[in-house]
């Protein structure tokens, strides 16, 4: 049994989609959802899904080992960042080598780094008149959005597309691919994997 913790800072639609995907799979358990925001909508989703959710403050995340200790007490094997906006602390990365993955709503290395999250990313893609965008699923290292890429999927961006329309296309890719890529990565543990790039 692989125990997964999902970290999410906001709405949590990806967290919910992942939890539903794994709900009927015996070999994987979404054990807990962790947020840095007590009022994030993801807590309500967790409640409906019957999954424990807990908040750690930014200070607890960045200045203490409390989150790492909590994960180890819960015997968590793998961490999924799904719309989580804080930088992952080094002590957590050291304890979970190749066991923390993130989804980014663009084709890294473009449109990544500090401040590039959610709608800011899609606005930047539209402003740059990009012809395509997509998703990047990658391992976490000590720098924002720079860990090894596992998988990318692309979508077209039309000249008339708004940031909102791009966001919808990207969300569709996230819902389609994130759960199955998580499943592939955990089935290959403890090795790291690279699964390539597809046109969504
Ligand atoms: C998702 O689009 C995810 O890719 C993005 O935040 C959104 C969260 O949506 N993550 C980042 O921007 C990280 N840099 P959700 O809360 O509905 O899953």
What CA dihedral angle connects 179, 154, 81 and 117, to 10 degrees? -150
DSSP-derived 3-state class of residue 53: strand
Q: Indicate if 88 and 109 belong to the same structural domain.
A: no
Q: Indicate if 77 and 111 belong to the same structural domain.
A: no
Q: Which residue's alpha carbon is nearest to atom 17 within ligand 1?
A: 13
* Ligand 1 surroundings by CB, under 6 angstroms: 8, 10-14, 82-83, 103-105, 117-118, 121, 174
In a mutational test of the pocket of ligand 1, which residue from 7, 14, 116 has the highest number of ligand atoms less than 8 Å from its CB? Answer: 14
Length reported for the chain: 200
Q: Indicate if 165 and 107 belong to the same structural domain.
A: yes
Q: Indicate if 154 and 196 belong to the same structural domain.
A: yes
Q: Residue 114 pLDDT > 90, yes or no?
A: no
End of a domain among 39, 69, 96?
96
Q: Which pLDDT score, from 0 to 100, does residue 142 have?
A: 82
Q: Residue 144 pLDDT > 80, yes or no?
A: no
End of a domain among 52, 74, 96?
96
pTM: 0.96
Nearest ligand 1 atom to the CA of 9 is 16
Ligand 1 mean position to 200 CA, how many Å?
17
The mean pLDDT of the chain is 95
End of a domain among 73, 96, 119?
96
Q: Indicate if 154 and 183 belong to the same structural domain.
A: yes
Ligand 1 mean position to 121 CA, how many Å?
10
DSSP assigned state of 78: E
**What distances in angstroms separate CA 171 from CA 79, 104, 155, one per listed residue?**
20, 11, 11
Nearest ligand 1 atom to the CA of 41 is 16
Give the CATH number for residue 159.
3.40.50.170
Q: Which pLDDT score, from 0 to 100, does residue 141 have?
A: 86
Q: Residue 38 contacts by C-beta under 8 Å, 6 or more apart in sequence?
A: 55
Per the structure, the count of domains in the chain is 2
Q: Indicate if 2 and 92 belong to the same structural domain.
A: yes
Q: What is the mean pLDDT of residues 38-48?
A: 98
Ligand 1 mean position to 83 CA, how many Å?
3
In a mutational test of the pocket of ligand 1, which residue from 117, 135, 145, 170 has the highest number of ligand atoms less than 8 Å from its CB? Answer: 117
Percent of the chain, pLDDT > 90? Answer: 91
Is the CB of residue 175 less than 8 Å from the CB of residue 14?
yes
Q: Indicate if 117 and 200 belong to the same structural domain.
A: yes
Q: Indicate if 142 and 173 belong to the same structural domain.
A: yes
Q: Indicate if 156 and 183 belong to the same structural domain.
A: yes
Q: pLDDT confidence of 143, banded at 50, 70, 90?
A: confident
Domain that holds residue 61: 1-96
Q: Indicate if 17 and 62 belong to the same structural domain.
A: yes
Q: Indicate if 85 and 107 belong to the same structural domain.
A: no
Residue 104 annotated among the catalytic residues of the structure: yes
Reading across the β-sheet that carries 28-35, which strands appear in turn? 52-55, 28-35, 2-7, 78-81, 100-104, 132-139, 149-156, 196-199
Among candidate residues 43, 48, 104, 120, the one labeled active-site is: 104
Q: pLDDT confidence of 112, banded at 50, 70, 90?
A: very high
CA angle 154, 158, 164 (to 5 degrees): 80
| 183: nearest Cα among 66, 62, 101, 105 | 101
Q: Indicate if 61 and 124 belong to the same structural domain.
A: no
Is the CB of residue 98 less than 8 Å from the CB of residue 147?
no
The two three-digit tokens of residue 106, written as one number: 């663009």
Percent of the chain, pLDDT > 70? Answer: 100
């Amino acid at each position: 049994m692989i125990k997964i913790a999902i970290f999410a800072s906001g709405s949590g639609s990806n967290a919910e989609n992942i939890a539903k995907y794994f709900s009927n799979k015996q070999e994987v358990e979404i054990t807990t959802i962790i947020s840095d925001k007590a009022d994030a909508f993801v807590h309500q989703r967790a409640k409906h899904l019957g999954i424990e959710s807990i908040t750690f403050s930014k200070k607890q995340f960045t200045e203490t080992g409390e989150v790492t200790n909590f994960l180890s007490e819960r015997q968590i094997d793998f961490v999924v960042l799904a719309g989580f906006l804080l930088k992952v602390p080094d002590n957590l990365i050291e304890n979970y080598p190749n066991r923390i993955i993130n989804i980014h709503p663009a084709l890294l290395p473009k449109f990544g780094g500090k401040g590039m999250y959610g709608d800011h990313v899609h606005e930047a893609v539209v402003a740059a008149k990009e012809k395509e965008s997509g998703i990047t699923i990658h391992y976490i290292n000590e720098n924002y959005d720079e860990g090894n890429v596992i998988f990318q999927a692309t979508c077209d961006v039309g000249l008339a597309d708004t940031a909102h329309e791009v966001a919808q296309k990207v969300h569709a890719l996230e819902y389609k691919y994130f759960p199955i890529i998580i499943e592939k990565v955990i089935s290959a543990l403890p090795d790291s994997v690279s699964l390539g790039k597809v046109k969504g």
